[in-house]
Amino acid sequence: MGVKTSLNSKGELSAQIAEAIRAAIISGALPFEHRLPSEAELSDQFNVSRPTVREALKRLAAQNLIRTLRGATGGAFVNRLSFEEAYAQQITTSTLLLSMNDVSFETACEARYALERACLKLSATRRLPDHLATMRAEIHRQGQPGLSDESFCNSDVAFHRALVDGAGNPVLSYQLAGAVEAMQPLMNMITFTARSREKIICFHTDIADAIEGGDAKKANTALNALAEYTIALAHNVSDRHRQNQSGVDSDQSEITRSSSTEPTE
Amino acid sequence: MGVKTSLNSKGELSAQIAEAIRAAIISGALPFEHRLPSEAELSDQFNVSRPTVREALKRLAAQNLIRTLRGATGGAFVNRLSFEEAYAQQITTSTLLLSMNDVSFETACEARYALERACLKLSATRRLPDHLATMRAEIHRQGQPGLSDESFCNSDVAFHRALVDGAGNPVLSYQLAGAVEAMQPLMNMITFTARSREKIICFHTDIADAIEGGDAKKANTALNALAEYTIALAHNVSDRHRQNQSGVDSDQSEITRSSSTEPTE
DNA sequence: TTGATCCAATTGTCAGACAATTAAATGTTT
DNA sequence: AAACATTTAATTGTCTGACAATTGGATCAA
């Protein structure tokens, strides 16, 4: 029996090994919770050293494909990708993509509201009392005086999450999580005046009312109004931004310290 | 100047280091194409060994956050996440999620068509001749006799990709790529009869006609019809499937060989 | 100036060791 | 026999030091 697996392709060994194992997982040859051979056995099978195997396993761990446990019964186990993990991955990827490709606020906004619009009909018929309660609660929170911009944006995200989750389709929620959450940094750029908050809350209330009444059409109208208003707000901000902006080129080259760091020596 | 960075938090060092660097990248402290310190310098800064640093870097590489190059001017460079890479990541994550959480065909289908519906309006007004041409070409291809099920599904995906891309919003395309592509394995399970293909082509034609005429409403109607029909088809298949299915439990424990492998000794 | 050669920096890989962790096996006491 | 403490073995996590492979630039010669 061919226990040894040769790798002919080119490139780094750890990448090849990671790819081989990933393919095995995706194909279903390695079922969930299945324990991979130990690092020592793998390095034997692939005829490489243990550090190389470890680099391969770390690659897979970074993609949530496996978890590793220490100890006598430890090892690397095929991870069942949960919706939670998928959400998180989706969000980080979306956030990075947006921040790295200077997507215009208009484009991102358009995408976000277009996607949300897709949920309205389902949400209007299926939303549970929970979702509605969350929406109402967030609206209330948004009306609190003295709420920071960041908190307001967080609440905004929570409101829309509830709206999306109301559709009762986890796949839909997963797909939209990235769109909604990834917008947050961009949203945070907008300094909401009291007046604009008031209007936004008004739109939110309209949406919640429509969802409560099962009126998808009315919800759609309200969401459209919110979308238009948001984009208009952003337009103002970006105009002001353009005026203030000069060629600022930060030249930091040190890695930012993690929260728990201290200079040594 | 504190060159050394201490890591107080718990867990594996390589994970902590990866997280610190990832945070620095996401925060923008490390701009694109910026070269990270060499592995030796990093192991100095974080006060760990080089293998540990390497594991951290491999984790980041697996997430497309950095690339590494060998040689005198080599090193690890902050990678600008392209839409292409983001697509690919999005698709693999979505595919895994669906295959690992036995999402019902109905749920996935509903999500997919709901998302697509979000693009119709934009696509009807913005689509370029290219998109329309692709849609027409794929429709034609779908009508070819003797086309394999897999090719038909591929063409189906291409058709819908064109529809989505017609909206002219890369963020939207990115978000939907996962939904559409991840459905393919599920779609492949359905054996399309000549009769059902004919109907699907009919719906596709209706959609293309509507998009060409800029009639979002008509396109919406056609897409709804297609969605209903697809789900009905799937229902039949899953019913038949249920009858045939008994508890099959494969117990493979070997890692599938990569395409270029051979048993040794 | 051009071309070939050498050099230094850097990542990729290896080997072997030890630390840390964990569950199971073993032994001991009640 | 049951409950508890101890040992043990397996496994991952980390370190050290070394060498190979690669690659751009420097050096030097024609």
Domain of residue A67, CATH code: 1.10.10.10
Same domain, B40 and B96: no
| pLDDT for residue A249 | 43
Determine, yes or no, domain membership for B17. Answer: yes
The verdict on B95 and B220 lying in the same domain is yes
pLDDT at B14: 96
- Of the residues A78, A105, A129, the one at which a domain ends: A78
From the list B59, B81, B260, the residue facing A62 with the nearest CB is B59
Specify whether the CB–CB gap between B65 and B76 falls below 8 A. no
Residue at B257 is within a domain: no
To 10 degrees, the CA torsion angle through A44, A48, A52, A58?
Answer: -40
- The answer to whether B79 and B66 are in contact (CB under 8 A) is yes
Indicate if A71 and A146 belong to the same structural domain. Answer: no
> B65 with B174, same domain?
no
Q: Is B97 helix (H, G, I), strand (E, B) or coil?
A: helix
Please indicate whether residue B91 or residue A249 has the higher confidence score (pLDDT).
Answer: B91
Q: Check whether residue B138 and residue B41 sit in a common domain.
A: no
**B32 within some domain:** yes
Q: Quick check: is B232 in a domain?
A: yes
- Chain B residues within an 8 Å CB radius of A16: 258
- Count of the separate structural domains present in chain A: 2
Higher pLDDT, A4 or B152: B152
Q: Which residue's C-alpha is at the least distance from the C1' of C23? A: A72
* Contact (CB<8Å) A171/B178: no
Phi, psi (rounded to 5 degrees) for A75: 135, -170
Nearest chain A residue to B84, by CA: A97
CA distance B30 to chain A (A): 7
Same-domain status, A39 and A169? no
B146: helix, strand or coil: coil
Nearest chain A residue to B122, by CA = A114
CA-nearest residue of chain B to A99? B26
Same domain, A115 and A185: yes
Separation of alpha carbons A80 and A33, rounded Å = 7
Q: How far apart are CA B234 and CA B26, in angstroms?
A: 42
pLDDT in tens, B31-70: 999 999 999 999 999 999 999 999 999 999 999 999 999 9
Nearest CA in chain A to B44: A264
Residue pLDDT, tens place only, A86-133: 888 888 888 888 888 878 888 888 898 998 998 898 999 999 999 999
Q: Chains A and B: how many Cβ contacts under 8 Å?
A: 253
**B211 and B163 Cβ atoms separated by less than 8 Å:** yes
What range does the domain containing A20 cover?
13-78
Report the pLDDT value the prediction gives residue A105, as an integer from 0 to 100.
Answer: 83
Q: How high is the pLDDT of residue A238?
A: 62
- Say if B25 falls within a structural domain: yes
CA distance B162 to B156: 10
Phi-psi region for residue B28, left (φ > 0), alpha (ψ -120 to 50) or beta? left
> Is residue B91 located within the same domain as residue B192?
yes
B202 shares its domain with B143: yes
Substitution target in A22, A175, A221, A251 with the highest count of B β-carbons within 10 Å is A175
Instruction: Please choose, from the candidates B144, B180, B183, the residue with its C-alpha nearest in 3D space to the C-alpha of residue B163.
Output: B180
pLDDT tens track of chain A, all 265 residues?
446 677 677 789 999 999 999 999 988 899 999 999 999 999 999 999 999 999 999 999 999 999 999 999 999 999 998 888 888 888 888 888 888 887 888 888 889 899 899 889 899 999 999 999 999 999 999 999 888 888 888 899 999 999 999 999 999 998 888 788 888 877 777 766 767 888 899 999 999 999 999 999 999 999 999 999 888 887 776 665 555 544 444 444 445 434 333 333 3
The count of other CB atoms within 10 Å of the CB of residue A144 is 10
pLDDT above 50 (res B251): no
Nearest to B32 among A55, A100, A108 (CB): A100
Among candidate residues B45, B63, B78, the one where a domain is terminated: B78
Cβ A255–B83 below 8 Å, yes or no?
no
Give mean pLDDT, residues B127-138. 95
A53 touches strand D (CB under 7 A): no
Total residue count of chain A as it appears in this document: 265
Query: What confidence tens digit (pLDDT) does each residue in B1-22 have?
Result: 446 677 677 789 999 999 999 9
pLDDT of residue B214: 92
Domain at A227, CATH number? 1.20.120.530
Residue in the block written with tokens 């070997």: B254
Residue A263 is assigned to a structural domain of this protein: no
Choice between B220 and B186, residue whose per-residue pLDDT is larger:
B220
**B52 shares its domain with B131:** no
pLDDT at res. B175 = 86
Q: Among A16, A49, A96, A186, which would you mutate to test the B interface (most chain B Cβ atoms within 10 Å of its Cβ)?
A: A96
Instruction: Give A202's DSSP letter.
Output: H
- Element holding B67 (H helix, E strand): strand B66-69
Same domain, B56 and B93: no
Boundary of a domain, candidates B56, B78, B100: B78
Q: What is the pLDDT of residue B78?
A: 96
Burial of A56 from C-beta contacts in 10 A (0-12 / 13-18 / 19+):
buried
Task: Decide if B90 and A90 are in contact by the 8 Å CB cutoff.
Answer: yes
Question: Is residue A260 in a domain?
Answer: no
Give the burial string for B28-59 (b: 16+ CB within 10 Å, else e). Answer: ebbeeebebbebeebbebbebeeebbbbbbbb
Residue B20 is assigned to a structural domain of this protein: yes
The verdict on B97 and B151 lying in the same domain is: yes
Q: Residue A25, CB, less than 7 Å from strand D?
A: no
C14: residue with closest CA to C1': A49
pTM: 0.80
